[in-house]
Amino acid sequence: MQHNTERILVSHAGNLPRPDDLNELLAGGESSRQAFKDRLPSAVTEVVDRQIACGINIVNDGEYIKAGSYTGYMHERVSGWELKPVDPSKPPKRAGVGERDRREFPGFYASGLWLSGSGGPIRPGFATSGAPVPLTRERVCTGPAKYIAQDVIKNDVTTLRTALVGKSAEGFIAALGPLSLGAGPRNEYYPSEEAYMTAVAEAVREEYKAITDGGFTLQIDEPEFATSWMFYPDWSLADYRKDLEFCVGIINHALAGLPQDQIRFHVCWGSGHRPHVNDIELKHFVDLLLKINAQAYAVEAGNVRHAHEWQVWKETRLPEDKILMPGVISHATDLVEHPDLVKERLLNFASVVGKENVQPGTDCGIGSRVGHEEIVWAKLETLAEGARRASAVLWG
């Protein structure tokens, strides 16, 4: 990854709108699987070109390879789990998404509004509105965690590399973090949770290595790093930090042997449409975040619960040679940010971490979280324009 030299380089968090015909093929299920695969390379080329046209410098494949499921795609790539009926005699491993908020806002959760998305109608493959439905099945680890998709990830890398031929942009590919893959399911195979999560880390490392070997930046998507605070609502801050120390070890085990200068770590507080008043504050875990063996750290900084947290970096020094990628565009609203607001946010970050070390992104993937694809592209355009205006101030 390159530090800024003459201007601020721009990227985003990953998920982008899929073309209508690709969505139709995806909705067709198994009968359309081959047609989906045949269409994928040209669709990736189109989304790469669209990002470059918006002014994005570090682009991706739109996460089209994930075929509409944030975690499901990795469950297809790593074996060892099966779906079992929920045993009512066993307490759940953890609470649901946003449990601390649910306890404080029971009426809001009962209304079903909490799953209605961020700003408008949900794109296919993300979520639907309505009251939460009790789970009848749960994912359980019943065998060795093993990566089985070597040919698939090789094809993902080749597809993006082909789409970038002759174009002046860098590429990144996002991959699910070991916590987001393994922390939720119950372990019935390994002798301990530590042995279980270590095996998960070793399995996903194969995907990570294929991405870095392919010459791309690897983005680890790990919202669990912050949202575990919500899953365990009775934890104290000391409990949370103790668990996070363990999690840092698991993540670094997954990254062992990989080049740090090709890795960025993305953490967010979850994209659910909910109050977020109980989100853990960045100041409570930023020191542990910086222990992860990555060059860049991508964090939410655009939504109204976290936009003020740029000030955390006044007290916490960004280590030398590291890059901070604050989200300065939010997935939580269909309002398109003004370029001068983006500029203001970037100037704030540059003042505390240095202009060479701040590269803006989005809070989360915005392709399936705002109301319409037109808004997605407008947000990316304003992101690039805001970075251009900030660069004019910083470099003259």
> Where residue 221 sits, what CATH number does that domain have?
3.20.20.210
Mean of pLDDT values over 67-86: 86
Q: Does a structural domain hold residue 4?
A: no
pLDDT band at 119 (very low <50, low <70, confident <90, very high): very low
Q: Which residues contact 150 (CB under 8 A, 6 or more apart)?
A: 206, 210
Q: Which two tokens stand for residue 95?
A: 């609470």
List, for residues 327-371, the tens digit of each pLDDT value.
999 988 889 999 999 999 999 999 999 999 999 999 999 988 888
Q: Does a structural domain hold residue 15?
A: no
> Strand 186-187 vs strand 137-147: parallel, antiparallel, or unpaired?
parallel
- Residue 338 CB neighbour total at 10 angstroms: 12
Range(s) of the domain holding residue 313: 20-395
Residue 62 to residue 156: CA distance in whole angstroms: 11
Q: Does a structural domain hold residue 225?
A: yes
Q: Does a structural domain hold residue 2?
A: no
Q: Which of 105-119, 212-226, 342-356, 359-373 has the least mean pLDDT?
A: 105-119
Highest mean pLDDT among 52-61, 80-89, 263-272: 52-61
Q: What are the angstrom distances between the C-alpha of 315 and each of 310, 322, 365?
A: 10, 16, 29
- Residue 36 CB neighbour total at 10 angstroms: 20
- pTM comes to 0.94
Q: What's the structural domain count of the chain?
A: 1
Mean of pLDDT values over 360-386: 93
What is residue 23's predicted lDDT score, i.e. its pLDDT?
87
Q: Does a structural domain hold residue 373?
A: yes
Q: Does a structural domain hold residue 323?
A: yes
List, for residues 156-205, the tens digit of each pLDDT value.
999 999 999 999 999 999 999 999 999 999 999 999 999 999 999 999 99
Q: Does a structural domain hold residue 281?
A: yes
Residue 43 to residue 49: CA distance in whole angstroms: 10
Pairwise pLDDT comparison (73 vs 300), residue with the higher score? 300
Helix (H) / strand (E) containing 296? strand 296-300
What is residue 127's predicted lDDT score, i.e. its pLDDT?
52
Q: Does a structural domain hold residue 181?
A: yes
Mean of pLDDT values over 4-32: 92
